[in-house]
């Protein structure tokens, strides 16, 4: 995800503008954090009031963080443009709040003023999406709006009757389907609550604890630095939910550590890119898509989190195993014992207490059957109480506690801005897809091309998802792809949760898939290596991720479907398959086969996927024998 870096002192003639802007941004960020905490505990406001207020706040915040003409001589003109954008959206939000009952009850016809406010607000949102993500996203959303206007002039299956500006305004502005739609509700409640929960967790000690535990768990073994990156990025990413943010957080520590131990720079960048991408696939946040998926599919969020656990475990098992085998073969160094934190430091009770209290708060909310946002709020309260007690017991002061919590609320508020802006735009895209019926047309075309063969459809879908998600943040890519393409597989009788997870995986993997592999670009910059070489090693390390979604179709037990035996068999076969693919990716040699080793690993992977326990057990025996053979040979020599 390409974003602008904000440097308070970078090339601004008017320093007071910069200083005032950053102070205002921090104040608004804290305000958003408090808004999220308040509505999580006491409940959201009326539907349109909650959503319009949230959109107004994040627009102000986005413009403060990503101003027009920052560092340019014409910054004064940028200030005028930014004030106009803020004013337009604030007026629109106030208009909707003041008229929310009429909008929801009377379903009013749009008038010229509504069209001006609605499309003006949409233009602002798309411009901010461009600033915070890339030009690709607003082009896609804007193209879908144009498609709604001009569908009557498009021939063939993709044509439709077309809609005038006032009808589209009613959908986008005067309803809860467009700018104030379901995705905006998710962003302003459950998603924002968990982002704030993660910010509190990281600021009260979880960040250092995660890194220390990762160092202790993997640092002393072959390829230790790469394993630290894998574990730490998985832990961070499960909370941050953004591959780019994850790379920026952990990569600045792990990549230099790997290079210092003489790991090839492309390999170091590849490890961080693939491990950070995996964080988007791991509960609880999953690149913020878990909450969106729950709403789109119509199931409980905790169901999505539970179903996603085993695939995420298999993904990281594949990455970890590939690293281990490469490290043993190429003699990648481990981290010196002197550089590893001792267990006492890693399990420091003052840093560990907020983590345990946060988990306990979540468990309490789940046990009581509370809403997701109230459950997250209980977790936040647990973190705050435990951090306060631990800091005071350790000799800290109230001012230190207040400063830490203020930073956490500030970063939590900032954390919802980008994803909030993108989900507002994505909601407009979804509304236009539903309005025009383009999803039905796409479904018919793909089924026709594949001839109704479910594996052919899945293959086409995988390629389409990877291409459609390129250059987009995961949550936005998932929503866009799911809105248009998920119905294709659902029509084949597959479970909707399985289908949405299938789409989500390939949308997430698009950030490491060339040529537009954003996560690779960021990682290669830190590693100071050519992005093409980093991409090569990233694909090698993360190869199992591309196969996993296909396993969902072959083995629904991976997604906790089909009863205990089906789940156990799927887990067993999945582990064997993943390790075989890891061995293939690591170019692991089987001494007696020499140049046929790759064919052997492919054979083991295929056997692991055959129906029945017998095939899975045979694959496991072959796998274990082949992996242990080099060790016995080394001993005998």
- Residue 338: per-residue pLDDT: 67
d(CA 427, CA 424): 5
- Name the residue among 233, 227, 174 with its Cα closest to residue 207: 233
- Stretch 574-590: mean pLDDT: 91
Residue 542 is given by DSSP the state T
- Residue 596: per-residue pLDDT: 83
d(CA 107, CA 455): 44
Buried b (16+ CB within 10 A) or exposed e, 429-454: bbbbbebbebbebbbeebbeebeeee
Tokens of residue 536, six digits:
């090569």
> Maximum CA pair distance of the chain?
86
- Residue 339: per-residue pLDDT: 67
Percent of the chain with pLDDT over 90: 35
Residue 151 is given by DSSP the state G
**Segment among 81-85, 103-107, 124-128 with least mean pLDDT:** 103-107
Tokens of residue 71, six digits:
């560092």
Kindly report the length of the chain. 637
Decide: residue 303, CB within 10 A, 0-12 exposed, 13-18 middle, 19+ buried.
middle
Residue 505 has pLDDT above 50, yes or no: yes
pLDDT in tens, 350-396: 888 888 998 899 889 888 888 888 988 999 999 999 999 998 988 88
pLDDT in tens, 308-344: 999 999 999 999 899 989 988 888 777 776 667 777 7
pLDDT in tens, 406-441: 999 998 888 888 888 988 998 999 899 889 888 888
- Cβ proximity of 108 and 102 under 8 Å: yes
- Residue 297: per-residue pLDDT: 87
Going by C-beta distance under 8 Å and a sequence separation of 6 or more, which residues neighbour residue 268?
Answer: 225, 226, 229, 254, 255, 258, 259, 527, 529
Buried b (16+ CB within 10 A) or exposed e, 538-550: bbbbbbbbbebbb
pLDDT in tens, 555-571: 889 999 888 999 999 99
- Residue 179: per-residue pLDDT: 94
- Stretch 88-98: mean pLDDT: 95
- Stretch 83-90: mean pLDDT: 95
Residue 483 has pLDDT above 80, yes or no: yes
- Residue 17: per-residue pLDDT: 60
- Name the residue among 561, 590, 578, 587 with its Cα closest to residue 616: 578
Confidence bin at 5 (pLDDT 50/70/90): very low
CA dihedral for 352, 354, 355, 356, sign (positive or negative): positive
- Stretch 284-300: mean pLDDT: 79
Cα 634 from chain centre: 43
d(CA 420, CA 184): 7
d(CA 544, CA 320): 11
- Cβ proximity of 469 and 129 under 8 Å: no
d(CA 388, CA 406): 13
- Cβ proximity of 332 and 226 under 8 Å: yes
Q: ∠ CA 263-264-265 to the nearest 5 degrees?
A: 110
Residue 450 has pLDDT above 80, yes or no: no
- Cβ proximity of 270 and 534 under 8 Å: yes
- Name the residue among 225, 226, 224, 250 with its Cα closest to residue 237: 250
Cα 526 from chain centre: 21
Residue 2 has pLDDT above 60, yes or no: no
pLDDT, the chain, mean: 85
**Segment among 29-43, 251-265, 464-478 with least mean pLDDT:** 464-478
- Residue 54: per-residue pLDDT: 95
- Stretch 611-626: mean pLDDT: 92
d(CA 55, CA 184): 8
pLDDT in tens, 12-62: 345 556 778 888 989 999 999 999 999 999 988 998 999 999 999 999 999
pLDDT in tens, 116-174: 999 999 999 999 999 887 788 899 899 999 999 998 888 877 888 889 999 999 999 99
Cα 21 from chain centre: 29
DSSP string for residues in 463-476? HHHHHHHTTS-HHH
- Residue 287: per-residue pLDDT: 64
């Amino acid at each position: 995800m390409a974003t602008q870096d904000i440097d308070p002192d970078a090339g601004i003639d008017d320093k007071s503008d910069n200083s005032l802007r950053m102070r205002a941004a921090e104040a608004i960020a804290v305000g958003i954090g408090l808004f999220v905490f308040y509505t999580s505990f006491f409940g959201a406001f009326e539907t349109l009031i909650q959503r319009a207020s949230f959109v107004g706040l994040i627009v102000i915040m986005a413009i403060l963080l990503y101003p027009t003409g920052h560092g340019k001589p014409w910054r004064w003109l940028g200030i005028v443009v930014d004030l106009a954008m803020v004013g337009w959206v604030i007026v629109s939000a106030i208009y909707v709040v003041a008229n929310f009952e009429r909008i929801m009850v009377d379903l009013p016809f749009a008038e010229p003023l509504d069209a001006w406010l609605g499309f003006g607000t949409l233009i602002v949102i798309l411009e901010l999406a461009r600033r915070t993500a890339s030009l690709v996203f607003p082009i896609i959303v804007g193209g879908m709006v144009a498609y709604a206007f001009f569908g009557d002039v498009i021939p063939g299956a993709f044509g439709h009757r077309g809609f005038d500006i006032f009808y589209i305004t009613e959908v986008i502005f005067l309803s809860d389907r467009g700018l104030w739609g379901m995705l905006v509700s998710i962003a302003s409640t459950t998603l924002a609550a968990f982002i704030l929960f993660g910010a509190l967790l990281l600021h009260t000690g979880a960040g250092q604890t995660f890194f220390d535990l990762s160092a202790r768990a993997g640092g002393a073994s072959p390829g230790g630095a790469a394993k630290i990156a894998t574990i730490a990025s998985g832990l961070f990413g499960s909370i941050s939910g953004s591959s780019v943010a994850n790379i920026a957080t952990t990569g600045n520590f792990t990549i230099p550590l790997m290079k210092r131990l003489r790991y090839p720079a492309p390999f170091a960048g590849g490890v961080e890119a693939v491990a950070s991408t995996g964080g988007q696939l791991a509960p609880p946040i999953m690149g913020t898509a878990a909450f969106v998926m729950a709403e789109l599919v119509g199931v409980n969020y905790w169901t999505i989190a539970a179903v996603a656990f085993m695939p995420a475990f298999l993904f990281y098992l594949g990455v970890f195993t590939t690293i281990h085998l490469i490290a043993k073969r190429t003699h990648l160094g481990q981290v010196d014992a002197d550089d590893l934190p001792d267990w006492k430091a890693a399990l420091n009770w003052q840093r560990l207490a907020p983590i345990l209290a946060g988990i306990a708060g979540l468990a309490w909310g789940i046990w009581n059957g509370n809403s997701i946002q109230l459950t997250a709020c209980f977790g936040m309260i647990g973190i705050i109480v435990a951090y306060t007690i631990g800091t005071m017991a350790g000799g800290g002061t109230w001012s230190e506690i207040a400063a830490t919590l203020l930073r956490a609320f500030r970063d939590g508020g900032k954390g919802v801005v980008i994803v909030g802006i993108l989900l507002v735009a994505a909601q407009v895209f979804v509304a236009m897809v539903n309005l025009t019926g383009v999803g039905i047309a796409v479904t018919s075309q793909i089924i026709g091309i594949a001839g109704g063969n479910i594996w052919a459809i899945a293959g086409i879908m995988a390629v389409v998802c990877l291409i459609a998600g390129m250059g987009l943040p995961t949550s936005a890519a998932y929503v866009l792809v799911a809105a248009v393409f998920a119905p294709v597989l659902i029509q084949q009788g597959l479970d909707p949760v399985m289908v949405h997870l299938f789409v989500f995986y390939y949308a997430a993997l698009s950030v490491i898939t060339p040529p537009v592999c954003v996560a690779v670009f960021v990682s290669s910059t830190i590693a100071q290596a050519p992005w093409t070489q980093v991409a090569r090693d990233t694909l090698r390390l993360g190869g199992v991720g591309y196969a996993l979604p296909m396993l969902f179709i072959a083995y629904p037990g991976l997604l906790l479907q089909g009863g205990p035996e089906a789940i156990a068999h799927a887990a067993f076969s999945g582990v064997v398959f993943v390790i075989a693919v890891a061995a293939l990716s690591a170019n692991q040699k089987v001494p007696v086969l020499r140049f046929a080793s790759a064919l052997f690993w492919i054979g083991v992977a295929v056997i692991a996927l055959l129906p029945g326990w017998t095939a899975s057990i045979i694959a496991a025996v072959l796998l274990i024998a082949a992996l242990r053979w080099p060790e016995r040979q080394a001993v005998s020599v």
